[in-house]
Amino acid sequence: MRSANVLLVVLTIVASAAHAADPVKDYPVRPIRLIMPNAPGSSADTMGRIAATRLGDALGQQIVVDNRAGAGGVLGMEIGKNANPDGYTLITTSLGALTVSPHIRKNLPYDPMKDFEYVALYSRQGNVLVVHPSLPAKSVKELVDYARAKQGKLNMATAGPGSQSHLNGTSLMMAAGFQSLHVPYKGGGPSMAAVIANEAQWSIAPAGAMMSHVRAGRLRALGHSLPERTPLLPDIPAIAESVPGFRYVAFSGFLAPKGVPKPVLQKINATMARVVATPEMREQLALQGAEPATGSPEEFRKAVYEELIETGKLVKAIGLKAE
């Protein structure tokens, strides 16, 4: 009997040790840190917090947002890259830091394709072309014609050199054949305020940052950058209807430091896919002018790679130089 009891104790200890040696089995067992390479209140921050709250509820652990804005998202991405790859640090995508900075910054402290795990997508969003309400243009074509007549005399507000609004705005001018003076501001908020104040006459930036101002009548929306019309922006046509071939789709998702155990990555991806499919998540994204998005880590990685290549071509055409 004594031998049997000893054997039972030994087996219990072995089983406990085996369980302890498998940290992914009950993942997550503590709160998860989400590094946000964007400033609080930005469109990316708002949507990232929505996704983090829903994902945390589904996983049964709180996801704590840690805003680490700076250097166009590079600071946050570097912090994320150097975090412990145990699944308890995630990073929100910063498309600028992933697809623009590699072309315009020397000595970038990470490789966007090699230093991160691509975990899960949760949304896609277009940019919205807006003008000050005093401008006579009420359509994309009318803006193009008006800008051509005023060649170089209109101001285009952006969130800064190399920002999404800068690249999109310049791409639109190149595609439509007109010029405006590029006026860079320190972030999306100040650039929108400039158009509202009529310091600048137009801009093109993420829908989430624009639509509250459009609904309040402070800005007039003329078109969006998705390739075709969307029910999320029912009264706004695609810019491509007036400027064939013009498109831009910004996607958002979660990354992780390289080396996170594959079962953890799979669990987060599968859970996020279920979250994105819920009516509550879709409704919250819709309020930000965004559509739900899902996909495998491989599809996520491929999308970023393709955008990296296309952005490189645009950066070269614009003439942006590495700093």
pLDDT, tens digit, 9 for 90 and up, residues 239-249: 999 999 999 99
Distance (Å, rounded) from C-alpha 64 to C-alpha 90? 10
Give me the residue spans of the domains in the chain.
Answer: 32-125+250-318, 126-241
Count of residues making up the chain: 323
| Tokens 């609904």 -> residue | 215
pLDDT score of 18 more than 50: no
d(CA 293, CA 121): 6
- What is the average pLDDT across 140-153? 95
Same fold, 32-125+250-318 and 126-241: yes
pLDDT given at position 7? 44
User: Lowest-confidence range among 122-131, 149-158, 182-191, 255-264?
Assistant: 182-191
Is residue 218's pLDDT more than 90? yes
pLDDT for 48 = 94
Which residue did the predictor score with more confidence, 230 or 134? 134
Q: Which of 102, 137, 140, 124 is nearest to 246 (CA)?
A: 140
pLDDT beyond 70 at 10 = no
Q: What is the mean pLDDT of residues 160-179?
A: 92
Long-range contact set of residues 242-247: C-beta below 8 Å, sequence gap at least 24: 242/139, 242/140, 242/141, 242/144, 242/176, 243/140, 243/144, 243/172, 243/175, 243/176, 245/175, 246/171, 246/172, 246/175, 246/176
Cβ neighbours of residue 312 closer than 8 Å, sequence gap 6 or more: 102, 103
pLDDT for res 323: 65
Query: Is the dihedral angle over the CA atoms 121, 205, 53, 71 positive or is it negative?
Result: positive
Confidence (pLDDT) at 66: 97
Q: What was the pLDDT predicted at 23?
A: 65
3-class DSSP state for residue 268?
helix
Burial class (CB in 10 A: 0-12, 13-18, 19+), 7: exposed
For the 126-241 domain, the top CATH level (class) is alpha beta
Domain 32-125+250-318 homologous superfamily, CATH: Bordetella uptake gene, domain 1 (3.40.190.150)
Residue with tokens 């990316």: 44
Instruction: Report phi then psi at 134, rounded to 5.
Output: -75, -15
Read off the pLDDT of each residue in 67-87 and give the average, rounded to a whole number: 94
| Structure tokens that stand for 60 in this block | 């049964």
3-state secondary structure of 136: coil
Which position has the higher pLDDT, 43 or 66? 66
Tell me the average pLDDT of the chain. 90
DSSP 8-state class, residue 100: I
The neighbouring-strand residues paired with 64 are 33
205-221 average pLDDT score: 90
pLDDT for res 322: 64
pLDDT above 80: residue 17 = no
Vertex 179 angle, CA 175 and 184, to 5°: 105
Q: Where are the alpha helices (DSSP H) in the chain?
A: 2-20, 43-59, 74-81, 95, 101-104, 140-149, 164-176, 188-196, 207-215, 262-276, 279-287, 297-318
Residue 246, Cα to own-chain centre: how many angstroms? 19
Range from 128-137, 178-187, 262-271 carrying the lowest mean pLDDT: 178-187
185: number of Cβ within 10 Å: 21
Which uninterrupted H or E stretch holds 250? strand 249-257
Give this prediction's pTM.
0.83
Helix or strand run (H / E) with residue 118: strand 116-131
- Please indicate whether residue 62 or residue 164 has the higher confidence score (pLDDT): 62
pLDDT higher than 70, residue 20: no
